[in-house]
Structure 1
Amino acid sequence: METKKSWKIAEDGVGERVDKHVAAHTNMSRQSVQTLIKEGNILVNNKQVKNNYVLARDDEISIAIQERTSFSLKPEPMSLDVRYEDEHLLIVNKPRGLVVHPAPGHATGTLLHGLLAYTSLSDVYGEERQGIVHRIDKDTSGLLLIAKHNDVHERLAEQLKHRNIERKYKAIVHGSILHEKGTIDAPIGRDPKNRKRMAVTDHHGKEAVTYFQVLERFQDYTFVECELVTGRTHQIRVHMAYIGHPVAGDPLYGRKKTLPIDGQALHAFSLTFVHPMTDETIAIEAPLPDDMVKELEKLKNTP
């Protein structure tokens, strides 16, 4: 459930920072307010602003807050496709359709619930993010890095922050991409017209860079490999749609007439990083899911 409220700035609020003002006029901490601003859930005059935005008279502040749902974090045994494991971490191949961690509408049956039944997990970043070093969307399949204890989680988070973990995806996208490879360098932020979507935007968008290369072309589709330089929400999906080649089956950014795949044809197939505890280079790959393999075969045989 989403709660919305808004108000206009009177004389006593003129000249205040937006984060300080909102914290003073609600029961939220300043840190929570800053997080909501960064996520695009607090707008000024229906636009995203920075935390240090200075308010002017008659500026209108609007807040959209998702009411917190109580999640059950009891272990739930499930079949896990573990591709690598040691005493510090593991890598799992997540199937399409499985939510990574609890969220509104998905209080049980997530990957995290299955992991809790399988092994011990770090909790340094909160109970509902136990072990989760990075995420992929519910309807994207592929490799996820999981931390078993806090020390390794913090070290992996630093690697991710400094872009030292290589993450590669394979996707089937609409249309024929003319270039053999390219770089999409376009900032991504919350779509002001639709809060469930992200969009390429210069207005408070965050740096987002994706490399791509063509693997194979078909009549109406292209099979591509993408590498994340940054890791913004929905990054590959937004970037490919931005250049006119949305991911096939994408319900949010794609086309209505598409391949018969339940969810986007996007698979995180490769993870490469230096193990933070052993200094060993770990390189793991996961094969394409069966439905993507099937659709690729159909495309190859289409005259």
Structure 2
Amino acid sequence: MNLARAHSSSRAEGEAPLGAAAAEAETRAQTSTAARRKGIAIAGPRTWVADEREACICALGLVEVFSGFGESREDFLEIVADSLQFWASELDRQDAKTPQNKKVPKHQTLPDAEGPYFMEEFQHVAVVWKPPGWTVSVREQLVGAVLKSRTAEFAKSDDEFGKPLQAWLAERLGEICPIVTDPLRAHGVIHRLDRLTSGPILCAKTERGFYAAKLEFHSRRAKKSYVCLCHGHLELATARVVEVPLREIWEGGWSWSQAGPGGERAKTKLVRSAKLQSTDGAIFSFVEVELLTGRHHQVRAHMAHEGHPLVGDPRYGGLELPWCPRVFLHSHGLAADLKFGKRDDGSQRVEKVDVFSALPEDLANALRQLKPLDEESRKTQEKWLRPPI
């Protein structure tokens, strides 16, 4: 299927033509798929599986390029989704252990006071709670094709030091979900959180789940919501979007993001802000944000650029304070509609992921140290300190 042509036909008249990067990705997808159908290898001792996976990754590369320019259309994405599900279904059939309706053992879904646990489970994916101190900085490795993730989902940084979530997944799901033991598929992990950031992580149980979820993130239809505590009073009468490019900088083996020209497009929506004060008179803002892109350290870098670095984040100008044990940043919401093709009646097969993660106790205790300075701020603080139902 010619994905580039499908996208071109869905563009309005006068829009920019297919870029060189997208054209290259399209060519590679067509070449690998043609090779698979003819039963031949390309570029060395390739396997059918490698070619099929490369086709999937190249299709995602197309989506990433178009989404970066805000061009992706629903009809184009539907074509890509159908293609990915066709290829991924073939990959799943190659592994007899791939689950059909196998579930995580019940005792592993119970909340753990210190470690990860399964928050929700579906046929093709699961949502895992990631506590602070655990890492998800795994990398995808491909034979013959390496997709450089423009979202920096698996970038090396300070997050490489900690307890690896991928090892925890392999121990608990490896017997029934081979993908979590496979570094070629990033151990099934779909996105990342910084080492000290808590919140839900979406993980694939099957190849179909992996590519359905990846499509939602590459097309920027997945929704990730955060709360953070920053220095100073952030004036926010209504929601607004911070749109400042971010460029990843490497220094001494560590990486961080610098806001300004020369970086990649980055957008963060500031939704709501509560004004708070500490006992020594310092002013803070408790801010609800949504990621509209997914760059490395995006919330931390954008808030610092706004002049309001996060509490506990000296890398970006924030102060480490005795009443806050870590960077005050928590991912509280994750939502995505994962599409798995059409049924015989034409309706879409969908796994609807929509999870909420309450403020963890260490950050809730830090928030309790502060006094709200107006009624709306009091209501916001009260809402986030309310015990989860």
TM-score, structure 1 as length reference: 0.67
Note closer, same or farther for the CA distance 1:281–1:96 as it changes in structure 2 (3 Å cut). Answer: same
Contact 1:124 1:150 in 2 (8 A): no
Contact 1:214 1:222 in 2 (8 A): no
More helix by share: 2
1:92-107 aligned at under 5 Å gives the runs 92-101=128-137
Q: Who is 1:285 aligned against?
A: 356
Distance (whole Å) between structure 1 residues aligned to residue 194 and residue 356 of structure 2: 18
Cα-to-partner distance string for 1:183-231 (whole Å, 9 max, x where unaligned): 100000123777522101212x100000012242113111111100000
Distance (whole Å) between structure 2 residues aligned to residue 256 and residue 133 of structure 1: 31
Contact 1:89 1:152 in 2 (8 A): yes
Contact 2:245 2:261 in 1 (8 A): yes
Q: What is the CA-CA distance between 1:269 and the residue it aligns to?
A: 0.4
What's the secondary structure of 2:294's corresponding residue? coil
What's the secondary structure of 2:310's corresponding residue? coil
Tell me if 1:83 matches 2:154.
no
Q: Who is 1:147 aligned against?
A: 204
Distance (whole Å) between structure 2 residues aligned to residue 170 and residue 80 of structure 1: 20
Tell me if 1:202 matches 2:265.
no
TM-score, structure 2 as length reference: 0.53
| Percent of aligned pairs with the same amino acid | 27
Contact 2:135 2:161 in 1 (8 A): no
Contact 2:236 2:273 in 1 (8 A): no
Q: Who is 2:365 aligned against?
A: 294
Q: Who is 1:225 aligned against?
A: 288
Note closer, same or farther for the CA distance 1:213–1:158 as it changes in structure 2 (3 Å cut). Answer: same
Distance (whole Å) between structure 1 residues aligned to residue 230 and residue 157 of structure 2: 29
Out of 235, 240, 245, the position equivalent to 1:182 is 240
Q: What is the CA-CA distance between 1:301 and the residue it aligns to?
A: 7.1
More divergent stretch after superposition (244-253 vs 191-200): 191-200
What's the secondary structure of 1:263's corresponding residue? coil
Out of 265, 269, 278, the position equivalent to 1:211 is 269
More divergent stretch after superposition (250-259 vs 283-292): 250-259
More divergent stretch after superposition (99-108 vs 242-251): 99-108
Q: Who is 2:76 aligned against?
A: none
Distance (whole Å) between structure 2 residues aligned to residue 117 and residue 298 of structure 1: 39
Q: What is the CA-CA distance between 1:108 and the residue it aligns to?
A: 7.8
- CA-based RMSD: 2.8
More strand by share: 1
Distance (whole Å) between structure 1 residues aligned to residue 258 and residue 209 of structure 2: 33
How many residues are treated as equivalent by the alignment? 226
